[in-house]
Chain A
Amino acid sequence: DGGITQSPKYLFRKEGQNVTLSCEQNLNHDAMYWYRQDPGQGLRLIYYSQIVNDFQKGDIAEGYSVSREKKESFPLTVTSAQKNPTAFYLCASSIYRTGSNQPQHFGDGTRLSIL
């Protein structure tokens, strides 16, 4: 079955440590997204990528970095500069084509906590 796989499901970070969240999709989607979810705040866009080797900052990119070396993969690194990283992180993907009118599909998320 096609879908989006996020790993790990749970992740713990020590102070001053960088951690990387994995997101892989086999839907042949062009665009991929990272969201952060906090209770009562909905989903906020961190980074997005519409094609390989290109990505743009979302609304809350500070303290995060991404890469898009392959169409299927869009890893998110939470750096030590992100002072409040505890949250639920969701990856999504969609077709990126004018007039395609296709919705975003979501993975099952990674919960990041601070030790």
Chain B
Amino acid sequence: AQSVTQPDIHITVSEGASLELRCNYSYGATPYLFWYVQSPGQGLQLLLKYFSGDTLVQGIKGFEAEFKRSQSSFNLRKPSVHWSDAAEYFCAVEPSGTYKYIFGTGTRLKVLA
């Protein structure tokens, strides 16, 4: 079955430190890939997306993600975390052409001052 795994439920980093959130998917072909961020009690905001082409994609708020086909991964990175980045982050996969997402269970980020 198709699935998305975010192995880290919680991550804590200090402000100014680098960040990497992991996402692995299980799907035969290359799906469409997304990262969303959710603040408490709010909806989801798109950070970035990958459909094809360059495997390193840039998003909003200084985030980037790298698609690695060999590892079925789409990890999210930020070189220097700000306190306002504290939120929950979701990786989502859309098997090509289905228009339906499969979400990971999310990673909650805490930022220490």
Contacts and interface: CB of A to CB of B under 8 A. Distances in A.
Interface of A: 4, 6, 31, 33, 35, 40-45, 48, 50, 58, 90, 92, 94, 96, 98, 101, 103-109, 111
Interface in B9-45: 9, 32, 34, 36, 41-45
Contact of B41 (A4, A50, A103, A109): A109
Contacts of A98: 97
Given A48-B100, A108-B42, 5 more contacts: A33-B100, A42-B4, A50-B99, A90-B44, A109-B42
13 contacts: A4-B43, A31-B99, A33-B100, A40-B9, A42-B90, A43-B90, A44-B103, A92-B44, A94-B99, A96-B99, A103-B46, A106-B36, A109-B42
B32 A106 contact: no
B61 to A, nearest CB: 16
B23 to A, nearest CB: 12
Interface of A is mostly: strand
Q: Which A-B residue pairs are the 9 nearest by beta carbons?
A: A106-B43, A42-B103, A106-B44, A42-B105, A43-B103, A108-B43, A101-B51, A103-B46, A107-B43
